[in-house]
Amino acid sequence: MAKKLYITATEGNSENTPVVLGIMQMLVRRVRKPAFFRPLIASPEPPDVRDHSINLVLSHFGLQIPYEAAYGLTLHEAMEMMNSGRRAAMLDIILQKFKALDHSYDFILCEAANFTDYDAAFEFELNTEIAVNLGAPVVVVCNALRKGVEDIVSSAHITLDLLLEKNIDVAACVVTRASIAKDDEMKVREAIHEHSKAQVPPAAYVLPEELYLSMPTVDDVKNWLDADVVYGKERLDALVTDYLIAAMQVGNFLDYLQQGCLIITPGDREDIVLAGLASRLSSAYPDIAGIVLTGNLELHRSVRKLIESWAGTPLPVLAVRENTSRTIQSLAGRTGRIEPGNAQKINTAIGLFEAAVDAAELESHVISLGSISETKITPKMFEYNLIERAASRRMDVVLPEGAEERILRAADILVRRRVARLILLGNIKKIKEKMSALGINPEVTIIQPELSPKFEEYAATYYEMRKKKGISLDQARDSLSDPTYYGTMMVHKNDAHGMVSGSINTTAHTVRPAFEIIKTKPGASIVSSVFLMCLSDRVLVFGDCAVNPTPTAAQLADIAISSARTAAVFGIEPRVAMLSYSTGSSGKGEAVDIVSEATQIAQARAPDLPIEGPLQYDAAIDPEVARTKLPDSKVAGRATVFIFPDLNTGNNTYKAVQRAANAVAVGPVLQGLNKPVNDLSRGCTVPDIVNTVAITAVQAQAELGK
């Protein structure tokens, strides 16, 4: 079964609780160790109050999860981060806490945030963004309260279309609080199912309105009004069906009594109080739930004496400071909740769900969509997985541009997140002064090349490598005084596992020492590059977009195989599309011929690797186009690695996709070298540096794992 499911509602008062309880009941029967998680919870008032949903699920199902691990952030914390421009950091924290549960549990059921203080559009947008980044199939809950069939169907269709636009997989659409005929329920289900254009249309279910679940108890009323309990504290669990303001004479008042109503009356109306208490002892009148005395008025001493002389007060009596009008205003619109320990309400909610939902069908949808969702990965998920993987086995990464502010800020983040052990190169005094000015002190090794004990050894090694090219030992020393050359030699000598440079140096300055010292892998004819293109729902590999202007057919084949290997290192299943302006045999010309030849060479060198070409970009990425242009291909419509015929095409395409699709382009990642060396753009940001160091560390792990 899939490992996660996300429940979100389209609007407030959708009554998620029966859906949450019903699905968790389904899970505990099928999953050995389920967990419950809420990405965001309301800011507790007072601070020690726990989230209702988490408390209910953990207590009823006996889930052994620490409360703090069951949610990401409070709404107050999340809003502070978003308002200060740290939305990505907010998502990071939620993803980290979710992943912490993911490591320890077999299945995570998530319930989205529901905040009454913010509009439905904001809440829906935020919840769907979180769902996308958790990569979970969704059960969407649609509120049918006071809606007819057409309104229910229209609302569900709009919601499903919006979720499809965001590329969210919907396992089921559950309509709650419905007050429609059984035949109409079937019409609603069919209309929802048939409307969907998703690869796996969602299951659809309708849960009828169950007023019992939303009825408050007298204890709820006590808490809402901050009331004092005058009598009957052992009867606060009585359900309240309605409120009755008592202002009439007793004879007329008694005619208005209904089962479960709560009497609200001024505290000096002893006649109403005594009549209400007496009605509970009489079989001639329905049982009221209790009485609320308003106005901060005490009952007369003689009336208290009479009541207190009884063996037991037959119903609860509360007292509040507000007058009757304000008391009623405070109760307006309030509904009861399913509280932990209320077995009757909990079992009613689960029964309501099980009567309406085909558990086997829902499980089938979750499994089907789970396998689809697992192949989807957002930029945030990719970044998290990348950092997590790098931190799992810390590598030594050297950064030659040690005094650059962005490098130092990135180093602070990398050390705090334990991504890698870092070596900074440069003037030791300047680097320490810069750290002090920035207010950071990361635990890093700082080396000033010309003062290093290994300087002469490195210079001698470089001299031996390059003396046939006519360099002298003094020239070798000059070269090794350059931090980029020194860092490259550290990697060559296994004093570091990888190097990252280029934030202030050119690509040529970063790559040239690697060509001279580290050199290419056996069997690799060319050093090339890829960009990891993080789209909204997947990561693609684009190569070569940064190094080789006009590769030959043999070099294109080499780029394709290297790019496939790079994809595999980062957990992307390689399906390689050799791109051209024509698909299959539809086009002719020298440019197409080179791609055709490169495809044949690559297929011969890597027979087990799915490689197809020539392919146009649309045929490579779009299943519908692929079915028309190349219906039997294992790559067309499903490609993950895209090999461009030349640098002009590749560089422009990656930038076009980056801007048009709002994609994150990570790279360039160099490939074909014996050891990992990666180049930064001179316009790189601190997150770019963090990601590139993590990529270098993962590449180094892969090299050592051979």
Q: Is the pLDDT of residue 696 over 60?
A: yes
Q: What is the pLDDT of residues 432-447, one digit of tens each?
A: 999 999 888 888 999 9
**Interior CA angle at 420 toward 416 and 424, to 5°?**
90
**Directed axis angle between helix 428-438 and helix 405-416, to 10°?**
70
Pairing mode, strands 498-501 and 641-643: unpaired
Three-state SS for 567-590 is HHHCCCCCCEEEECCCCCCCCCCH
CA 31 to chain centre: 22
Q: What is the pLDDT of residues 491-536, one digit of tens each?
A: 999 999 999 998 898 888 888 898 889 888 877 778 898 999 888 7
Range in 6-15, 185-194, 456-465 the model is least confident about: 6-15
Q: Is the pLDDT of residue 474 over 60?
A: yes
Q: What is the pLDDT of residues 97-131, one digit of tens each?
A: 898 888 888 889 999 887 655 566 777 788 888 88
Closest CA to 3 of 83, 97, 98: 98
Residue 192's pLDDT is what? 85
Q: What is the pLDDT of residues 364-414, one digit of tens each?
A: 777 665 545 555 666 777 777 788 888 889 999 999 999 999 999 999 889
Q: Is the pLDDT of residue 560 over 90?
A: yes
Residue 1's pLDDT is what? 41
Q: Is the pLDDT of residue 486 over 90?
A: yes
**Does residue 513 contact residue 484 with C-beta atoms inside 8 Å?**
yes
Q: What is the pLDDT of residues 306-359, one digit of tens each?
A: 887 776 778 899 999 999 889 998 888 787 888 888 888 888 888 888 888 888
Q: What is the pLDDT of residues 222-252, one digit of tens each?
A: 988 889 988 888 888 888 888 989 988 888 8
What percent of the chain is predicted at pLDDT more than 70?
95
Q: What is the pLDDT of residues 26-51, one digit of tens each?
A: 888 887 888 999 999 887 766 677 88
Interior/surface letters 612-629, b for 16+ CB within 10 angstroms, e for the rest: bbbbbbebbbbeebbeeb
> What is the spatial distance between Cα 140 and Cα 159, in angstroms, rounded to a whole number?
8
Bridge partners, residue 242, by sequence: 261
pTM over 0.85: no
> What is the spatial distance between Cα 115 and Cα 131, in angstroms, rounded to a whole number?
17
> What is the spatial distance between Cα 425 and Cα 431, in angstroms, rounded to a whole number?
9
> What is the spatial distance between Cα 20 and Cα 23, in angstroms, rounded to a whole number?
5
> What is the spatial distance between Cα 364 and Cα 697, in angstroms, rounded to a whole number?
39
Q: What is the pLDDT of residues 619-659, one digit of tens each?
A: 998 888 888 888 888 898 889 999 999 999 999 999 898 88
Q: What six digits make up the tokens of 284? A: 């001639």
